[in-house]
């Protein structure tokens, strides 16, 4: 989808469980949800 | 051809209202306890270095609710222009304003007025003058075409049904060669269509 919007070089650079131990129970675990960092570039 | 990902039966106004209400709580009552971590604890979980947080006022940091670290995948350079889409209480905008220095500029965009109030107060407290905060939506941010060198966002795209529309808006704001440095969530298990209509899952 990022590339469909006109970007190139899409890359996920990090992922981690950022929800475990949150004060309220979360649906995050049910869908194996993780936090990610990602980057891309608009063509020059 | 890629079609926009939308959820046709979801009332967009209701969804935005509920999201704004939830994040209004994060602004006004950050220690209440949410489905996600908040504040300094979360900032450490997602890898913010101490030197990045050193100049961020507590009023901004306490309402941090991001999902990653937009500064971990590339440096911001002095003089650059940055858009922080879904800036919340301003933590990333304030960090960016220091990284780009007095010759650079930062525009933070958020749809939740109480978050913008906190962000403006925090920027004033931090003494940064190269950042401004504007009210707007991620799908239609009030920034001119080709203004930005970098667009950052932290846990925002997942809150928007029209994700392709958000990425197209990011593309519009960027100069040719401009960069996206984003953080968000990803699911490893498919979310059923009926679950996508559950607003509690969008907000939490």
CB B68 within 8 A of CB B155: yes
The H or E element that residue B177 is part of is strand B174-187
Q: How far is A27 from chain B (nearest CA, A)?
A: 7
Which pair of tokens denotes residue B122?
Answer: 């925090």
Query: B78 CB near a chain A CB, below 8 Å?
Result: no
Q: How close B93 gets to chain A, by Cα (Å)?
A: 17
Assembly ipTM: 0.92
Q: Which chain A residue's Cα is nearest to B170?
A: A5
Which residue on chain A is closest to B190 by alpha carbon?
A31
Nearest to B181 among A24, A28, A39 (CB): A39
**How does residue B8 score in pLDDT terms, banded at 50, 70 and 90?**
low
Tally the C-alpha atoms within 13 A of residue B31's C-alpha that lie toward its C-beta: 3
Across the range B119-133, mean pLDDT stands at 97
Distance (Å, rounded) from C-alpha B40 to C-alpha B30?
Answer: 11
Q: Are B110 and B87 in contact (CB under 8 A)?
A: yes
CA A40 to chain centre: 13
Model confidence at B4: pLDDT above 50 = no
Is B59 in a helix, a strand, or coil? helix
Residue B95 near residue B61 (C-beta atoms within 8 A): no
Q: Once rounded to an integer, what is the mean pLDDT over residues B145-153? A: 98
Mean pLDDT, range B20-27, rounded to an integer: 87
Per-residue pLDDT band for B3 (boundaries 50, 70, 90) equals very low
How far, in Å, CA of B88 to CA of B145, rounded? 22
Whole-angstrom distance, CA of residue B102 vs CA of residue B113: 26
Would you say residue B143 has pLDDT above 60? yes
Which position has the token pair 């996508």?
B196
- Alpha carbon distance, N-terminus to C-terminus of chain A: 19
- Compute the count of residue pairs across chains A and B with CB atoms less than 8 Å apart: 134
- pLDDT band for position A20 (50/70/90)? confident
């Amino acid at each position: 989808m990022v590339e469909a919007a006109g970007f190139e070089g899409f890359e996920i650079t990090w992922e981690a469980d950022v929800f475990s131990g949150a004060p309220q129970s979360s649906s995050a675990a049910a869908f194996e949800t993780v936090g990610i960092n990602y980057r891309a570039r608009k063509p020059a | 051809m890629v079609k926009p990902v939308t959820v046709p039966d979801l009332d967009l106004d209701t969804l935005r209202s509920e999201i704004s209400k939830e994040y209004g709580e994060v602004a006004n009552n950050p220690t209440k306890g949410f489905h996600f971590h908040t504040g300094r604890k979360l900032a450490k979980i997602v890898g913010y270095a101490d030197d990045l947080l050193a100049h961020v006022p507590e009023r901004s940091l306490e309402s941090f609710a991001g999902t990653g670290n937009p500064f971990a995948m590339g440096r911001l350079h002095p003089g650059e222009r940055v858009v922080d889409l879904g800036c919340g209480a301003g933590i990333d905008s304030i960090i960016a304003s220091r990284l780009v220095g007095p010759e650079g500029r930062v525009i933070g965009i958020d749809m939740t007025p109480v978050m913008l109030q906190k962000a403006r107060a925090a920027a004033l407290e931090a003494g940064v003058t190269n950042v401004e905060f504007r009210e707007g939506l991620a799908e239609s941010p009030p920034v001119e075409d080709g203004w930005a060198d970098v667009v950052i966002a932290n846990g925002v795209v997942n809150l928007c049904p029209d994700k392709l529309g958000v990425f197209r808006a990011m593309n519009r704001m960027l100069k040719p060669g401009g960069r996206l440095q984003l953080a968000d969530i990803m699911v490893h298990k498919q979310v059923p269509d009926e679950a996508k209509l559950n607003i509690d899952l969008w907000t939490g």
